[in-house]
Amino acid sequence: MVHLLKNKTGMTNREIGEFVGGLSYSGVSRVEERFIEKLKKGGAVNKDLKAVLGKMANVKG
């Protein structure tokens, strides 16, 4: 969720942290860094992210 909020909204790390339940702005950065590392390794995380992005592309709004 943090990755999507950072990349698909204009929210700041502080706003994202508050939104997800009180994570600090630096905590948001650390979560994003760990997620990016998982993406680089490939596997299920990439597949899941692509699936979510595909579903988001189909949302009419």
Structurally, how many domains does the chain consist of? Answer: 1
Express each pLDDT in 11-25 by its tens digit. Answer: 999 999 999 999 999
Beta-strand runs (E) in the chain? none
| Residues contacting 45, CB < 8 A, separation 6+ | 35, 38, 39
Asked if residue 26 lies in contact with residue 14, where contact means CB atoms within 8 angstroms, the answer is no
User: Taking the model in full, what pTM does it have?
Assistant: 0.79
Q: Which domain holds residue 25?
A: 2-57
Axis crossing angle, helix 44-57 with helix 25-41, rounded to the nearest 10: 110
- Below-50 pLDDT ranges, the chain: none
H/E stretch holding 61:
none
